[in-house]
Amino acid sequence: MKRQQTADPSERSLLRKAQRLNDRGKRLDEQGRYVEAEAAHREALQIREQALGPEHPKTLASLHNIADVYCDLARYAEAEALYQRVLAIETRTGCDIDLEHAKTLNNLGVLKTKQGKYADAEALFQRALSIAEQGEDTFSQELTTYILDGLGTIAEDRASYTKAEGLYQRALTIREHLLGAKIEMAHCLNKVARVYEAQGKYEEAKDLYQRAFSIAEAELRPDHPDMALFLNDLGLLAAKQEQFERAEPLYQRALSIYEQALGPEHPYVADVCGNLGKLYGKTGKPVQAEALLRRAVAIDVQVCGMEYPGTALSFSNLAGLLTDQGAYAEAEPLFQQALTILLQTVGAQHPDVAHVQGKYAALQERLHKADGEER
């Protein structure tokens, strides 16, 4: 603070420029224009580091903003390094009980969740929640909703749907009493809908998905990456109800948005490729299906690695198609890899494990039958 008070006019001018860049970066981030946002935040960081020093709160804010962009772009290692740097400085300077520290913990938890590192993520969310729940101001409440969403996502990914629904509903209740941020309300509704869908409550899920999508359409540009999320989830519900003609254009539009906004090798692109590939496999388009499912595998292996549940599901999806095509030799090791990853990340009781085991058992039955016919 002392340095700011004694800064010369040229330095004050630079700091005002940094604030403008910071604000521009946040707007670009909200619009899903992540590459442009990174450039603005990096320029702001350079100015703040030189004028204010590496441990000033505004410098930390710029580091945090860049980490958020990296997380959105699936540059997870770079994002984690910056979050850890910020956490270390906050702890060293006695700011480890502040809301900004809780925000850093939360966002690192989000990153760990995206990597499938649920135990690490849960511990970070709980630490963040213990700080955020002490406040009663708007920022504390908003942050609490994000943390509850994070804990809900972990519960959902672990197939603890009742727990997930409770956490999401808590976040939704808080969000309903906060003014503004309508798109955040849409995300809350969408998450509750996902839990309903997982429990087979399709009509309840459809109503909430439609409410969320209507809000998103009113609040976001048509090419915003968040629009792809809502479209993909609507497509998943339609596909589960075997409404394939309705699901296909939803997936295609989601895929196009993600590719343009996030690039062709983002995990979200892999997710939609997997969903659209499965749909094509069910609707008699094996060539298109195989191309999409192989692309999903390649992205997940390259970006997320072999300890990520999504990689396991991509292996399983491709293996299922190969089984249907009679390519048993290639399918078998893919099922084995999928099961290994799932058992290590989500545990033997998760329904995805039973699902993959069932598909693997069907393959083994076909292999046994084929061996018998050869004899």
Q: How confident is the model at residue 370 (pLDDT cuts 50, 70, 90)?
A: confident
pLDDT at 162 over 90: yes
CB 108 within 8 A of CB 124: yes
Q: Give 125-176 as a DSSP string.
A: HHHHHHHHTT--SHHHHHHHHHHHHHHHHHHHHTT-HHHHHHHHHHHHHHHH
In the chain, % of residues over pLDDT 90: 90
Look at residue 372 in the predicted model and tell me its pLDDT: 64
- Nearest C-alpha neighbor of 277 from the set 238, 309, 306, 239: 239
Q: How confident is the model at residue 252 (pLDDT cuts 50, 70, 90)?
A: very high
Look at residue 180 in the predicted model and tell me its pLDDT: 61
pLDDT at 8 over 90: no
Give mean pLDDT, residues 39-52.
96
Give mean pLDDT, residues 119-132.
97
And the tokens for 72? 């959105």
How many residues in total does the chain contain?
375
| Domains detected in the chain | 1-96 (1.25.40.10), 305-375 (no CATH)
pLDDT at 4 over 50: no
- Nearest C-alpha neighbor of 273 from the set 286, 289, 249, 284: 289
CB 40 within 8 A of CB 21: yes
Residues with Cβ < 8 Å from 184, sequence gap 6 or more?
Answer: 142, 145, 175
- Nearest C-alpha neighbor of 243 from the set 200, 217, 282, 213: 282
CB 82 within 8 A of CB 53: no
